[in-house]
Structure formats: C-alpha cells, structure tokens
Amino acid sequence: MKVVIEQWHAVAAWQWDMPEDDMCGICRNPYDSTCSKCKFPGDDCPLLMGECNHSFHMHCIYAWLQQDSSQDKCPMCRQAFKPKDAASTELE
C-alpha cells in the first residue's frame, strides 16, 4: 500500500514539473482545457500568445494584467506582455 501511494505522489510531482508550454502558467490548467473560470474549451476560452512566446488563457492573462502588481509584464518571463497577433489559433 505504501508503494502505491509513493507512485501516485511521483506522478503528481511529475505533472507539477511539466514544461510550461503544455499548460497555462497562471491557472496551471492545460492549454486544451479551460481557465479556472470557464467550463467549455475552445472559442469561449481562447488562448493568447505574447511576443515572448508564452501563452495563457485569454481570461487568465487579462485578469493578471488587471492587477497593479503585474506591471503589464508576462508572469513567466517578466517581459512586457504584448499579444502576438494571429498566433493564438496555431495552438489548436
């Protein structure tokens, strides 16, 4: 039984360390899922890619940028976050 629990823990830790390109760095949900506020992936909860090539759910990055502490910077690399035009659809 102990072994089973340790294996489960290892899997959970691996997911936490997954490359950031597989999930939104703000809500940590996968890109093919929704942000923490939405129920339906796709057009209702699109992805937004910045010029720094970090992508987030549109709702997540908007909520982040509305915080004064964000200073309009990408939460992953701390560069000024500017949406990259026409890139969000590539990630479908």
Of the candidate residues 47, 54, 55, 64, the single one contacting Zn ion (CB under 5 A): 54
Of the candidate residues 31, 33, 46, 52, the single one contacting Zn ion (CB under 5 A): 52
How many residues bind to Zn ion according to rule CB under 5 A? 14
Site string for Zn ion, 9-48 (x = CB under 5 A): ---------------x-xx-------x--x------x---
62 phi-psi bin (left φ>0, alpha ψ -120 to 50, beta other): alpha
Angle, alpha carbons 37-58-34 (nearest 5°): 40
